[in-house]
Amino acid sequence: MQLSRNFTLEELTATTTGFLNRPDSDEINRLAELALHILQPIRERWGRIRITSGFRSPSVNSAVGGVSTSQHCFGEAADFAPLDAPIDEVFSWIVKDSGLQFGQCINERRGERRWVHVSLPGDGRRIMEALVYDGKSYARFVG
């Protein structure tokens, strides 16, 4: 199922955990909003991006060590790695210059692995929150 020009439902629900990862209709609608209003503009500006985590069912979320309140569980967040551009430039553009309305945008690193987490504004708890995670702690992005 196509959610935007370059993103599919299958891509945003893929998992290697072996657990069922099927969103309900509300979660699919939020994934479509995420794809259309956040991921697609990033793709158009920076080229290809690889989704490393999108929607997570409770069992998938538990298997990957996610917190129970993760926006991934509601179809409101995705983690991605840019394939055609430096991750720091993409992150900085999202936060400072893109005009995108997001809930959280986090430049994450765990060892050699790096990705950007981005979410919909959601329930109002997190609006335009930009963070950097070094594998140990979160810090506000000051750029």
Q: Domains, the chain, ranges and CATH? A: 9-140 (3.30.1380.10)
- Mean pLDDT computed over every residue of the chain: 94
Reference 50, options 75, 80, 76, 16; nearest CA is: 80
Residue 126 pLDDT? 63
Mean pLDDT over 116-135 rounds to 86
Please enumerate in sequence order all residues whose Cβ is within 8 A of that of 56, keeping only pairs 6 or more positions apart, or say none: 15, 21, 64, 66, 70, 72, 73
Mean pLDDT over 100-110 rounds to 95
Of the pLDDT bands very low, low, confident and very high (cuts 50, 70, 90), residue 143 is: confident
Structure token pair of residue 37: 């209003």
| pTM (predicted TM-score) | 0.94
Q: What percent of the chain has pLDDT over 90?
A: 90
Taking only the tens place, the pLDDT of each residue in 15-32 is 999 999 999 999 999 999
